[in-house]
Amino acid sequence: MTLTWKSAVALMLTLSATFHVAAAQHEAARPAERGVINFLTPILPDPVLQHSKETYVLYGCAYCHGVDLRVRNGEAADLLHSPLVRADVDGGVISHVLRVGIPQTAKLSPMPQFSDLSDRELADIARWIHYSKGQGHFAELMQDRDVVVGDISAGKAYFEKSCSMCHSPASIASAIKVVKDADLKAFIIRPAFLQSTPSFDVSRRTEKAVTGRAKHGTLLENYTSAEVADLLAFIKTIK
């Protein structure tokens, strides 16, 4: 998806208003931490992803936004819950923000521009943000265990809208046959192939594999708790 200049700016403005309050609490908003941290470990099995992480660290993003998108510098935007990151699918929105920075702001220290970075570097940084957002959001979704009671018919409708172009209920039913109920949520929202290292073997880079991975990445980043609860309620009925 491409976002127009204007809508990107509109999003930014909405956000700066939201975060203005947080800036005033700069002093108090610090997590308790002891000892030394390492932004680079654990070294990921996928070298492309590891390189993306290192690019994100090297340009200082990690210092303000946190390598895992948990804000380190009190003023920085929360990228884990940012509507701008949510609106970005192919790196276009994030790259645009990085090229221009956010000079108009109530923050003490505006978000700088990174206009001299190459397209590759920007793409690497966006890749890391999306991966990290997926991991962070996965952790959040796994935490709100059983809080929301799912609605079967809403789950069916969600499946038809978001999954059925690639999966039939029957194929999902057979995939989950051996999965224990306790593991079902994780299995559905973060299928194992999403954690595997992508292959560069051209014969295996089929359209289905590539779009499926991209689609599941986006789903993982953006599922709401209610969507997950509904989807699970529905999938349990077809198991």
Partner 1 sequence: MILDRRTFGKSALGAAAGVALSNTIASPFAFAMAAPPRPNSIVNGVKIGLQPFCYHDLPQSDQNRSILIQRLVQNGLSFVELHATWVEPTFQLPGVTAEAAREKQRQWRLTTPPSFYESVKKEFDDAGITIFTYYVGFTMATPAGEIDAVYEAARLLGAQGAIGSYGLAVAQKLVPFPAKHNIFTGLHNHDNLSDPDAFSTEETFEKGLAMSPNFKATLDVRHFTAANGDCLKFLEKHHERVSSVHLGDRRKNNGRSTPFGEGDAPIIEILRMIRDNQWPMIALLEFEHGTLRSGVDEVQIVLDYCKRALA
Binding positions for ligand HEC, rule: CB under 6 A: 12, 15-16, 19, 59-61, 63-65, 73, 75-77, 79, 82-85, 94, 97-98, 102, 105, 107, 109-111, 114, 125, 162-163, 165-167, 172, 175, 187-188, 191-193, 208-209, 211-212, 215-216, 219, 231
Which does residue 30 bind out of partner 1, ligand HEC, none, counting CB within 5 to 8 angstroms by kind? Answer: partner 1
Neighbours of 17 (CB within 10 A): 10
Q: Which long-range contacts (CB under 8 A, 24 or more apart) does 10-13 make?
A: 11/83, 11/84, 11/87, 12/84, 12/97, 12/102
Q: Which does 193 bind (CB under 5 to 8 A by kind): ligand HEC, partner 1, none?
A: ligand HEC
Tokens representing residue 194 in the block: 């999403």
Q: DSSP string of 115-137?
A: TTS-HHHHHHHHHHHHHHHHHHH
Question: Residue 51, SS3?
Answer: helix
For residues 56 and 67, the answer to whether their CB atoms sit within 8 Å is: yes
Residues that bind partner 1 (CB under 8 A): 24-40, 54, 56-64, 101, 103-110, 112-116
Give me the least distance between CB of 174 and ligand HEC, in Å please: 8
Q: How near is the Cβ of 130 to ligand HEC at its closest, in Å? A: 11
Nearer to partner 1 by Cβ, of 89 and 117: the residue is 117
CB count within 10 Å of CB 180 equals: 8
Cβ distance to ligand HEC smaller for residue 63 or 224? 63
Among all residues, whose Cβ is closest to ligand HEC? 212
DSSP-assigned states of every residue in 160-222: HHHTTTT--HHHHHHHTTT--HHHHHHHHHS-GGGGSPPP--TTT--HHHHHHHHHHHHHHHH
By C-beta, is 63 or 193 nearer to partner 1?
63
Residue 24 contact, options partner 1, ligand HEC, none, Cβ 5-8 Å cut-off depending on partner type = partner 1
**Which of the choices partner 1, ligand HEC, none does residue 40 contact, using the CB cut-off of 5 to 8 A by kind?**
partner 1
178 binds, among partner 1, ligand HEC, none (CB under 5 to 8 A by kind): none
